[in-house]
Structure formats: C-alpha cells, structure tokens
Amino acid sequence: MKSPDVRKIWDKHLRQILFASLPMIFFGILSVNAFHSKTAEGFARIGGLIMVYAIYNLSRSREKYIASRDQWENARSAKFHKLFFQWDNLQRESLNLTFDMHASQIAQINKHLGQENPFIENDDALIEEFCRDIERRRNNSTVEERSKELLGQLSEFENQYINAQKTLQPWTKLIWRLEVFLLLWGSLQSTYGTVFYDWLKNL
C-alpha cells in the first residue's frame, strides 16, 4: 500500500487550515486582550478592525482569483496556438511526403505502361533515383514521432490546466467563506460588542 505524499497533504489540507486559522487566532487574541483591558469600546473597535480586514481581503482575493484565472487562460491559448502551428506544419510535411510517394508509384507504373510521366522524365535512371530519394525521405521521416510528442505535450499541459483549476476553486471557496465569516464576526462585535461586554461583566 502506497504511503500518502506528504507534500500533497500539505498542499491540500494543512496550508488551507493554517490560512483560515491564523487570522481567526490573531483577531481572537486581540479581542480577548481588549476584553481583559476592561474597555467595552476597545472590544467593539476590534470588531471594526476585523470588518476592514475582511472587506479588504474580499476585494483583494477576487482580484487575485481573476488574475490567476486569466493568466492560466492566456497561457493555455498561447500553448494551443504554438502547438497547433507546429501540428499544422507536421501535417503539411506528411501530406507532401504522401504526395511524393504516390508520385513515385505513378512514375513507375507509367514507365512500365510506356506513358508520359507528369512528375519526372521517362528515364529509367532518373525515375529510379527519384523513387530512391522518396524512399530515403520516408525512412528518415520523424513526422509520426514528432506528432506523438506534440500530442503528449498538449495532453500534459491540459492536465496541468485542469489541476490548476481544481486547486484554485477550493482555495477560492475557502477564502470567500473565511472572509464572509470574519465580516459577520466583525459586524456583530462592532455593533453589539459593548452590549456583549457589559452582559459578560454582569454575570
């Protein structure tokens, strides 16, 4: 049984947990310190600070998400354009070789039939050299290997794109949920902080 990849666990879980926990711990400590300082107004003001942080990070997170998404889309378009341009050149090379192979076959058939050859003079030596040259080109051709390599590159990059989207979406959801939670927390503490402070002190 394969052991889990520690790096993947860190990327998928621990980083998200730490990202969500740190601001809550930080503002929680500030709120507790403000509460123990015996000033209701200070406790409520921490709520306002939490709201400012949440609003700022909501807008900043949205901008970062859009920038990251656009960056991947642009990279994907550029990669596709480059690979399809190379693919088109390979197709042209393959078609040219296929045409020449048919031309060599037609040249040999017309020679035996004694008919005019549209591709080369009806000379045995010239036709033989023409056919040998095309056969040599066919044997040395790397079109098939390069086509497979291009398809592999395209598949690999598409997998990278899909994995990036899979990683980006959970992070985006986490960030939005965290910031909305902090916004609600800050709103409640800012609005009802003094009431909550007095209520706890009177217990």
Q: What does pLDDT average to over the chain?
A: 79
| pLDDT value of residue 2 | 44
Q: Round to whole Å and give the CA distance between 84 and 86.
A: 5
CA torsion sign for 41, 44, 50, 55 is negative
Give tens-digit pLDDT for 136-182: 888 888 888 888 888 888 888 888 888 877 777 777 777 788 888 88
The pair of three-digit structure tokens given for residue 9, joined into one six-digit string: 């666990």
Who wins on pLDDT, 166 or 131? 131
Q: Round to whole Å and give the CA distance between 91 and 144.
A: 10
Give tens-digit pLDDT for 28-43: 888 888 877 767 788 8
The pair of three-digit structure tokens given for residue 131, joined into one six-digit string: 């056919």
